[in-house]
Structure 1
Amino acid sequence: MQTPTFLILAGLAEQPRHGYGIVQVVTDLSAGEVKLRPGTLYGALERLTEQGLIEVDHEESVEGRLRRYYRLTAAGATALGTEIDRLQRHADAAREQLRRRPGIVPGLSRLVAPAGGAA
């Protein structure tokens, strides 16, 4: 799963959102690292809808423009949970590799601390 897709699904996990709301939550979740452009967002929303991972929740007219809200489906929540588990396994494996590295790289001690303990 690509990062923008992951973040879109994560951004819809809490509540339905319209396009601009999705852009904002993706920016927040990624600490500003991912900024979706409208073409990218709406292409992704169409694809995710076709895949059954999201669906239209409702539409409303705001200042004469139609605002469509999307929500995560049960299949989307399952896919998001699966991806979270996959990413966590990869992060844990990478952390273990760093922990085994001879000598500690300055600034990385917080990353390689044993689970539940201090470095």
Structure 2
Amino acid sequence: MSYTGGPMTEAMYYVLLTLMYPNHGYQLMQEISEISGGRVKMGPGTLYGLLNRIEEEGLIAKESDDGRRKTYRITLYGKEQLYKEYERLHKMISDGKIIGEWRSGNDK
């Protein structure tokens, strides 16, 4: 199974973002919370289900598995897809500048 593209879930985006550097489950949960300023908190069930799925899709790979702790890394394909999502989100923010203009009173 491979990733079909399209908008990523918030959980998927943050997992891939934190896997720009190899990492393991518990540390991933901590980093996701830190990177998002505490806005996103991911439990083990959600995280491990997502890790399994995106590994099957070729977005991440196991770097090591000592039986107790599995360390994952993002693949080149995963980085490409993460960057596409980053560009999509950036474009949405740019497109939404009209709301900022309205809020600042430039457009009544």
TM-score by length of 1: 0.77
3-state secondary structure, aligned to 1:40? helix
Alignment of 1:1-119 (within 5 A): 1-13=8-20, 15-60=21-66, 66-99=68-101, 103=105
TM-superposed deviation, 1:99:
1.9
Distance 2:64 2:26 in 1: 15
User: Which structure carries more relative contact order (alpha carbon 8 Å, separation 6+)?
Assistant: 2
Moved over 3 A (4+): none
TM-superposed deviation, 1:18:
0.4
TM-score by length of 2: 0.85
Q: What is the percentage of aligned positions where both structures have the same residue?
A: 35
Please provide the CA RMSD for this pair: 1.9
Q: Which has the larger Rg? A: 1
How many aligned positions are there? Answer: 100
TM-superposed deviation, 1:83:
0.3
Q: What residue ranges of structure 1 are gaps of 5+ in the alignment?
A: 105-119
